[in-house]
Structure 1
Amino acid sequence: MAKIKSLVVGDDEPHGDGMVLTRLANRLQARIPKLCELKTFYDGRESIPTKYVPKNMNTTSADVYRRFVDICPMNLASTIANAVITSQNPIGFRLVDDKSMRSTAADDMWDSTGMNVRALNMFMDMSLYGAAYAMVFPREYPSYIQRLSPWTTSVSPDKDSAVVYDFDADEGMEYLTLYRLIRDDKGEVVRVYSRTAQHETENRTLYSDSVDDEESVYSLANDEDAKLPALPQQFQWAGEAQDDTWEFAKQCGCLPVVRLATSTGKGVFESSLRTLSAIDQQRFQRFCIQEMQAFRQRWVSGDMPEYYAKSDPAVKYGHARAGDKIDYSELFEMGPAALWLMPKDAKVSESQVTDITPLVTAATSDIKNLAGATGTPLSILSPDVAGSAEGAKLTTRMLRMKVRDMNARANDAFVLLLRMALLADSQSDAAGQRFETIWEPLELPSELEQSQAAANLKGIIPVKTIMRHYLHFTETDISEAMRDAQDTMFMQALANENRMLETSSQSQSAATLPDSVSDDESLQYGSFDSLESAGESFEEVS
């Protein structure tokens, strides 16, 4: 086994920072070609290998084949990944504690750090590339939690070290920042620090998933002979290691960089890339067959003279001379009103139509197998599939199980991120708190179904439990609903008190009326009382 040379000049100590950084950077660099291929398939920009394109063709035919190469991708990869991405939706957090079920602090931190959007990007990274990364910073601005790209981040399998690559075009520098934790003999974390190595360069070495690098990414994925630039062994340490900055990570016993990965560390369609390529190849062949059949090949056979004779019409009318060689390519020109003048024994034939039904059937079968291999409902990949509601429910079971597995893995990462962010925000009790992510159901019931379930369970289980498990309220929503209920009860009690006071006042006024009041006045007072009663009734109704 060849000895690894450190990327940091002069730091070759075994198990030292330079060698740890080098191993992680090499892993990151080796993963880049696969990331390029995955992004290319997700964007629908893959192409069949150019060696399958026929050679020795004229210019027109070559352009046709090149167009087929561009339009043959079917872009099923994005459909497979999006089926999982759009099904993951965290809606809040709750404490796993005997005293309280509310974790509004975690919800507030989630909202203030913009994790509603960052989480979606992380879900996309996880489904597309097999891993997603995020990092907690000790400062609130721009945010405690920020997403890191799989193109620039690598974490060791034991989660004791990580490296983050960065390039600054303005300064002409690229950086490799090492994050590392040290454990004592008992396995407890005693130190978490970071250290940065830098190198001067005009262009970035490693590609990114930004729009600026897309063409380079597509080129690397589609060109078998393309080579990825390697990180130079010319980095220098920039300053000393930083320890105090990551005190919150030390309290949590982890790195500030958190990795969220699938069970295999691969994207949801990464293992099916060959099948996707085979479907694209079949589409390319079908396009070629259809194009050739649109302009079928014709030929003329028989005893065909090679030279013009004096009796030929072309010679008689002065279009040719006797003895000239006949150019049949000009005689048999294609056109709506073209006429062919052929010798007596000549026969015209043309190529037959090729039945492409077997190719279409084979492609449909491949899509079905792809749906089963990736756990994607066939109705998503092939919208014309019809079936019963129960059958549709069974076909989505694999997708539900996949999403449930992804959610369970994401829970640990999100809880760890929030715990460190709360500690960085000087909330000292966050280190010992245990909370879990609340997820929106994969198949959210309708409002009618939720209201019916809540009405049927009223009086059987507590109101908060109904809100939490059957109405799918977050802890913040439950808190607001309880406050609204208290406000409503207060307003009702206040209205009842005012009504009682008004009734008491009216009774006292009626008891002190003089006996000399006329019948007309009594009628008027009686009418007034009736109006008051009507007004009270209106208030109660409203």
Structure 2
Amino acid sequence: MLAEAGIPGTDDWWLMRLANELGNGLPRMGRLTRYRDGDALLPDNAWDVGTRESYMRWLKRSRLHIVETIRDARTDRQRVIGFRTGADGDESGDLAAWKHWTRNRMKVQSRQFFNDTADYGKSYLLTMPAADGPLWNVRNGWTTITEPNALRPWLTEAGITVGFDPIAQAEVIVLHRPGYFRVAFRPTRVPTLMQDGTPWYPGKGWSWAGGPVRNVSNDSLLQRNQTVDGFGVYEKHLDSVDRINEITLNTITLIVMQAFRQRGVKGNLPEFYPEGHPQAGEKVDYDELFKAGPAALWLLPVGSEVWESNFTDITPIFTYRRDELKVLMSNTRTPQDIFDGESANQSAAGSQNSKEPLIHAVQAMNDQAEVSLAQAMAQSFEMVGDAIRADVTEIEVLFGKISPATLAEKAEAVAKMGGKPSQRYINSEVLEMTPAQQRQDEQDRTTEMFQTALAAASASGVTGSGDTNAA
């Protein structure tokens, strides 16, 4: 049992404090996940199953899924292309660092890493020793939480990861502290930490599986990446998203209802059938008499006229929705042409100016991500005993261009250089080659120079041989 849970600063205290914070944050995670998945308009109140399913079908036909586009506009431009370390001769990227990245399939995992940061405001990267090399594990706020160091917020003071072991039938919490980690468990046949947004109360019954396990690194192995303010990129604008979705839903409802416009008959219509009629004296059933249908024929008394409700003009509603979308795009620094396509006739300078706020936003996210990625890379080199590359102050994360130039623009820029900069600079800054492409280009140039020299030597030998024979 955790006997020191009431003593601040102890492992017991950190474990329970972080577990409670994680549990209290799950409703927020659930809310953001619903917006990410496009289910945000579904009411939280309990409806009967039939009504709820019917509403969901109508909602899916009517919704405008906005937040995923807002997120992808940023994260699609976050692309790690290499690392530089303190090792000699890695101007075009360190191959040893890139091997750590590729071995952990970070081209794939980084998508989740960046997307989770944009959706939830935070994501986590856990570095663990493994037989085939350091292992990187991407996590999010559903199972992971950290507390930053008060003086060095880029370092983790304490953090936990929560899981369930179905074989041992126990919930497991791993506490990560600077220099070590500890494992706590609680027997249970089913996990109590749900993934539906309901709060989690860790409760009692936790015990340590053993003492602290020392890390190779003096820092915690669990790193946090976050946006500048810790909010998701669209989290502060969810009211605007709700308003746009409700406008869309109501507009489509109006369109559908145009086919069911109210009709009526004006005139002196009798309440009962007159004498001489086969149903004389009976009350007239006008619902039966005036059935609606493509081939329906109505017999109206003299002087009667058919009235129909007016058509509702939805153009002002669509205009209002478009204006709301523009405001949302402006507030989230997302280019408006992603939605409305109005930049077809826009100049190159105008297009660049419209994307400038997004470029600054992505650059800020890259700066934030570099801290956690560099820390994880440094710890990976510590685990393999490479002290030179393990210096985190010498590690630089190389990101791809946020707004890549076209091939024509690159060719024009190279022509204007006039051969003054080095080829390495042209490859990196003008042609925007990745480190791997730069190394391949250098190898190709060396091969071409060798083949040219070999051809020249062969030609010289043939010419010399011909001159000798002529003599």
TM-score (norm 2): 0.88
Distance 2:435 2:251 in 1: 55
Aligned to 1:132: 123
The AA in structure 2 aligned to 1:153 is T
Partner residue, 1:94: 84
Tell whether the 8 Å contact from 1:12 to 1:19 is kept in structure 2 after alignment: yes
1:115–1:308 distance in 2 versus 1, CA, 3 Å:
same
Asked if the contact 1:93/1:474 (under 8 Å) is kept, the reply is no
* Residue in 2 that maps onto 1:110: 101
Query: Any unmatched runs of 5+ in structure 1?
Result: 1-6, 182-191, 209-216, 221-226, 512-542
Partner residue of 1:178? Answer: 175
Partner Cα separation in structure 1 for residue 245 and residue 380 of structure 2: 46
Contact 1:155 1:162 in 2 (8 A): yes
Instruction: Check whether the contact 1:48–1:280 (CA below 8 A) recurs between aligned residues.
Output: no
Task: Give the aligned partner of residue 516 of structure 1.
Answer: none
The change in CA–CA distance for 1:165 and 1:496 in structure 2 (over 3 A counts) is same
Summarize the Cα distance change of 1:178–1:155 in structure 2 as closer, same or farther, 3 Å threshold: same
Mapped pair 1:280 → 2:252: no
1:122–1:132 CA contact under 8 A, matched in 2: yes
Q: 1:291 to 1:457 in 2, by over 3 A?
A: closer
Q: 1:20 aligned to 8, 14, 25, which one?
A: 14
Determine if contact 1:103/1:435 at 8 Å carries over to the other structure.
Answer: no
Asked if residue 239 in structure 1 is aligned to residue 239 in structure 2, the reply is no
Task: Name which of structure 1's ranges 276-285 and 143-152 shifts more when overlaid on structure 2.
Answer: 143-152
Match of 2:385, SS? coil
1:338 counterpart residue number: 296
What residue is the counterpart of 2:153 in the other structure? none
Match runs of 1:308-347 below 5 Å? 308-311=273-276, 313=277, 316=278, 320=279, 322-342=280-300
**Which runs of no fewer than 5 residues in structure 2 stay unpaired?**
150-155
Give the drift of 1:427. 1.5
The letter for the 1-side match of 2:129 is: P
Among residues 341, 351, 361, which one is paired with 2:319 in the alignment?
A: 361
Please give the secondary structure, in 1, of the residue aligned with 2:39.
coil
**1:195 corresponds to which letter in structure 2?**
R
Q: Hey, what's the Cα distance between the residues in 2 that align with 1:481 and 1:236?
A: 57
1:109 Cα offset (Å):
2.1
CA contact (8 A) 1:136 1:420 kept: yes
Tell me if structure 2 keeps the 8 A contact 1:453–1:470. Answer: yes
Number of the residue aligned with 1:256: 221
Residues 104 and 475, structure 1, Cα contact 8 Å, conserved in 2: no
Question: 8 Å contact 1:47–1:70 — kept in the other structure?
Answer: no
1:32 to 26, 36, 46: 26
State the partner residue of 2:457.
497
Distance 1:266 1:242 in 2: 33
- Aligned-pair distance for 1:455? 4.3
Q: 2:147 aligns with which of 156, 165, 179?
A: 156
2:341 matches 1:396? no
Q: Give 1:30 deviation, angstroms.
A: 2.1
Distance 1:96 1:485 in 2: 27
- Distance verdict in 2 for CA 1:235–1:296, change over 3 Å: same
Q: Secondary structure of 1:467's partner? A: helix
Distance 1:366 1:497 in 2: 71
Q: Give distance in 1, aligned partners of 2:285 and 2:193.
A: 58
Cα deviation for residue 309 of structure 1 reads 4.4
Q: Which residue of 2 aligns with 1:414?
A: 373
CA 1:345–1:386: 2 relative to 1, 3 Å: same
Say if 1:105 and 1:62 are closer, same or farther in 2 by CA, change over 3 A.
closer
In structure 2, give the amino acid aligned to 1:461.
Answer: P
Cα-to-partner distance string for 1:4-29 (whole Å, 9 max, x where unaligned): xxx95774333221221122122222
* Number of aligned positions between the proteins: 460
How much is the aligned-residue C-alpha RMSD, in angstroms? 3.0
Kept in 1: contact 2:128–2:135 (CA 8 A): yes
The Cα of 1:87 is off from its aligned counterpart by 0.9
State the one-letter code of the partner of 2:171. E
Between the aligned partners of 1:379 and 1:73, the Cα distance in structure 2 is: 20
1:481 match: secondary structure: helix
Contact 2:20 2:200 in 1 (8 A): no
1:372 matched to 2:330:
yes
Deviation of residue 483 (structure 1)? 3.4
- The aligned residue for residue 186 of structure 2 is 199
Per mean C-alpha deviation after superposition, the further-off stretch among 337-346 and 107-116 is 337-346
Q: Judge conservation of contact 1:198–1:235 (CA < 8 Å) in 2.
A: yes
Q: 1:77 maps to what in 2?
A: 67
Cα distance, 1:64 vs structure 2:
7.2
After TM superposition, give the deviation of residue 80 of structure 1 in Å: 0.5
Compared CA separation, residues 9 and 202, structure 1 to 2 (3 A): farther
1:66 and 1:262, CA in 2 relative to 1: closer, same or farther beyond 3 A?
closer
Structure with max Cα Rg: 1
What residue number does 1:457 align with? 417
In structure 1, the partner of 2:165 is 168
CA apart distance, 1:421: 0.9
- Distance of aligned partners of 1:44 and 1:509 in 2 relative to their CA distance in 1, 3 Å threshold: same
Percent of aligned pairs sharing the same letter: 28
Q: SS state of the match for residue 375, structure 2? A: helix
Q: Is the 8 A contact 2:79 2:400 kept in 1?
A: yes
C-alpha spacing 1:62/1:93, structure 2 compared with 1 (3 Å): closer
Q: 1:262 to 1:140 in 2, by over 3 A?
A: farther
